[in-house]
Structure 1
């Protein structure tokens, strides 16, 4: 399979990665065992058993920094862990999952950036790389490798039952 065909297959398989529209109309709910904030800087730090929910979206982490300095609706959430995890139920009812050392969620642009041992999977297909960027609004996905390693994409064929 040549690289052009592989890229087309990857885009087609990942093109269904869009969350239910209701998720983005829901408030972002953050819970943890410990919280501290710098009111002057508009930064909150959550630690231990951190869970971020927005509709069906769930991010779990050991630590979360929520930066609200750009104003309401422009918050940036940076979750870290060993690994931090992300899951969301899509419009078609399928689940997408991801994990990385750091997950950055930019609420204004609806962009997830997974950094460090990043991987994202849906319906048995998997993308791995040093950095994975997923724009939820435009449904664009990209992955970058690190030195001496390559981006890995594994497609699992759909098993069809015989009539």
Structure 2
């Protein structure tokens, strides 16, 4: 049975937009190898680093599928695990790990699958699949039969005078 859990990022998400939103900046890819250049598909391997503004992903392999046309590329990163980080405009980081991450810049959607975990402002969401829209600041998490969605909220610390 699948369980879905939707959050409007109520666990402390601030806007991801800074002076120029990350998703409007260029995407840069660095890797040890570019191993495959098929028609409309690129494959990078070993120490892959994807950056777009403050957004950063690290993976073992990255496949870019551009078959849908310019501006509709799909980036699929795999690793053990793939890591993601991004700076919020309040200075707080968002970090995530998963076996696979799929980034679709045209819809501003990051999909984490396989032991997915996203941490923000000290709070954590763990699930089989997490979908995160970086523009709308929306998150959904989904479990499979053997794993439930887990969310851990960290309370704010109050300074006592």
TM-score relative to the length of structure 1: 0.88
Higher relative contact order (CA 8 A, sep 6+): 2
RMSD over aligned Cα, in angstroms? 1.9
Residue 62 (structure 1) aligns with: 60
1:94-133 alignment runs, 5 A limit: 94-133=92-131
Give yes or no for contact 1:90–1:96 (8 Å, CA) kept in 2. Answer: yes
Give yes or no for contact 1:19–1:89 (8 Å, CA) kept in 2. Answer: no
Detail structure 1 runs of 4+ shifted over 4 Å in the superposition: none
- Is structure 2 residue 150 aligned with structure 1 residue 155? no
Quote how far apart the aligned CAs of 1:7 are.
6.9
Quote how far apart the aligned CAs of 1:19 are.
4.4
Give yes or no for contact 1:58–1:86 (8 Å, CA) kept in 2. Answer: yes
Gaps of 5+ in 1: 1-5
Quote how far apart the aligned CAs of 1:43 are.
0.4
Note closer, same or farther for the CA distance 1:113–1:11 as it changes in structure 2 (3 Å cut). same
Give yes or no for contact 1:57–1:89 (8 Å, CA) kept in 2. Answer: yes
Gaps of 5+ in 2: none
Q: Which has the higher helix share?
A: 1
Residue 28 (structure 1) aligns with: 27
Note closer, same or farther for the CA distance 1:138–1:7 as it changes in structure 2 (3 Å cut). closer
Whole-Å separation in 2 of the counterparts to 1:52 and 1:115: 18
